[in-house]
Chains A and B, each alone.
Chain A
Amino acid sequence: MRCERYWDEGVLLVEQGRPDPHRDDCLDCRREHEARGEIVRAFQLVGAQDADPAWKRRVWEQIERYEKRRDTIARVLPWGTAFAAASALAVFVSTQGPAVITTAHDVRPRYDVVPSQVAMRSTSAGIGDRVRLWAGPGQEARIYRAEKLLLRCTPSTPTGTPGCTRDDDGVMAELVLQLPGDYQLVIVQPAAPAIVEPAGSFDGDLAKITAGGGSYRSFDLPVR
């Protein structure tokens, strides 16, 4: 009969750095110990080819946006008095936060997240949820993930285009969140009458919008 002791007790002794006298006298356990050694050595064969040499640039770009936001907040928030700070915070919150993500039907731009299982809406998101982004008249809605364009809905997008819906008040982009990561929701107000064609990368596209005389608002949506 084969000895089964190694994987029940012997391997733990090895991990604990303790001796295993039984193994010295047991051929089965010695073989299993060799098998363990082969697995441990194979960990160094677990390959990981670095797929994207541009990742550092993306980190720095993300940091640049973060620092800009911090600078903006630092400018907006006066530090003189508690009252002034509270007022500034209230203004900031009312202009940057909930007003944008309200679910009131007549407010645009706005977005919400529809959970895949529970019949309620929220603004935090998980895998399988749907995000809906509403743009006002003349505006376009774009959804990026990891800085790459996933969906774009413009006023001229043909009816029936998957993920895009048009109505009298503008367009709505709708996307199922399939992977975790940081999504960016962007509302573009192009300089009339031209629509600025995106190239597909977040920073490049935003730069193109402003260079073309347009403006945009973007919202970060982390998906876990």
Chain B
Amino acid sequence: MVNTTAAEDAARDDADIEQLIARNDRHGRDLALKLLMDRYSDRVYRFAHAMTRSAAAADDVRQQVFFQAYRDLARFERRSSLRTWLFAIVRNRCLDHVKGQRRWWKRFGNPPPEDPEVEPPDLDRSRIGEVLAVCITKLAPAARTAVVMRYIEELAYEEAAEITNELPGTLQQRVARALKALRRCVSSRLRAPVMGGVS
């Protein structure tokens, strides 16, 4: 049995797109982007939504990501897999958004008016996914990115480390701390001794 890393698997899966990029013409770029969008749009959207907790923002981020991907395709140098390269763009655009929101909060003390979805959902035990989504947005941007990459995108730590330009061990520690914070947040929002029977 041959062992491959997640990054190697991704690189093999996207070989067709890389061939189109290598043509270095408009038609090749168009086809490459079309395949990229077909293959990754849902994942990009899910990542952005988990990071921003806003459908409008996730939509915006996704549009920016694929436009930037198109614009920068010619500069893709295969130093990482295409997926890693794309998710580095996603991460940066999401962090831009999150930081922008934080600046707004800092200056004006309340959330931007066009983003109603940051309101907490009903505190219903059956809605743990929704509560968790809110709790994720309470994490610091770096922790949020790490945990979303690991447990929503299900990236290996090595691949996530390549995207964030950090060490896998650093991300493991960050995710461990984030899980602790999430456990506390989810429990308090559900207002009951939940999960594992211990509050």
A223: contacting residue among B100, B157, B179, B180, CB under 8 A = B100
Residue with the highest number of chain A CB atoms closer than 10 Å, among B129, B130, B152 = B129
- Closest chain B residue, CB of each to CB of A67: B26
* In contact, A48 and B66 (Cβ under 8 angstroms): no
Q: Does A24 contact B (CB under 8 A)?
A: no
Which chain B residues border A97 with CB–CB below 8 Å? none
Contact present for B195 and A127 (CB under 8 Å): no
Complex CA–CA separation, A100 to B73 (angstroms): 30
Give chain A nearest CB distance to B158 CB in angstroms.
12
Q: Please measure, in the bound complex, the distance between the C-alpha atom of A50 and the C-alpha atom of B70, giving whole angstroms.
A: 21
Q: What residues of A have a CB within 8 angstroms of the CB of B21 in the complex?
A: none
Closest to B181 in A: A7
Contacts of A7 in B (CB 8 A): 179-180, 183
The 10 closest A-B pairs by CB, nearest first: A45-B129, A35-B196, A180-B100, A48-B49, A51-B55, A35-B195, A31-B196, A34-B196, A43-B151, A12-B176
Residue in B63, B71, B113 whose beta carbon sits within 8 Å of that of A58 in the complex: B63
CB of A15 within 8 A of CB of B172, answer yes
Per-position contact with A for B48-77: 1 when CB-CB < 8 Å, else 0? 011000011111101110110011000000
B128: CB under 8 A from chain A?
yes
Interface residues of A in 8-58 (CB under 8 A from B): 11-12, 14-16, 28, 31-36, 38-40, 42-52, 55-56, 58
Cβ of A78 within 8 Å of any chain B Cβ, yes or no, is no
A38 to B197, CA, bound (A): 11
A128 contacts partner chain B, Cβ-Cβ < 8 Å: yes
How many Å lie between the Cα of A129 and that of B97 in the bound state? 15
Q: Interface residues of A toward B: which range?
A: 35 or more
21 A-B residue contacts at CB 8 Å? A14-B176, A15-B173, A36-B183, A38-B194, A39-B183, A39-B195, A40-B179, A42-B129, A45-B129, A45-B132, A48-B46, A51-B58, A52-B59, A59-B66, A59-B67, A63-B33, A128-B103, A179-B57, A179-B112, A179-B115, A180-B97
User: Which single member of B64, B115, B198 contacts A35 (CB below 8 Å)?
Assistant: B198
Chain A contacts for B39, CB-based, 8 A = none
- Taking a contact as CB atoms under 8 Å apart, the answer to whether A47 and B176 are in contact is no
Contact B198 A28, beta carbon cutoff 8 Å: yes
B100 touches A62 (CB 8 A): no
Nearest CB of chain A from residue B70's CB, rounded to whole Å: 5
The reply to whether B176 and A11 form a contact with Cβ atoms under 8 Å apart is: yes
Q: How far is the CB of B22 from chain A (nearest CB, A)?
A: 19
Known: A35-B183, A48-B46, A127-B100. 8 other contacts (CB 8 A): A12-B172, A15-B172, A47-B133, A67-B26, A116-B107, A178-B104, A180-B96, A224-B96
Q: In angstroms, how far is the closest chain A Cβ from the Cβ of B120?
A: 14
Chain A residue contacts of B57, Cβ below 8 A: 179
Q: CB-defined interface of B120-137 with A at 8 Å, one 1/0 digit per residue?
A: 000000001110110010
Is B37 at the interface (CB under 8 A from chain A)? yes
Q: Mark B138-162, 1 if CB is under 8 A from A, else 0.
A: 0000000000000110000100000
Out of B59, B71, B103, which one reaches A66, CB within 8 Å? B71
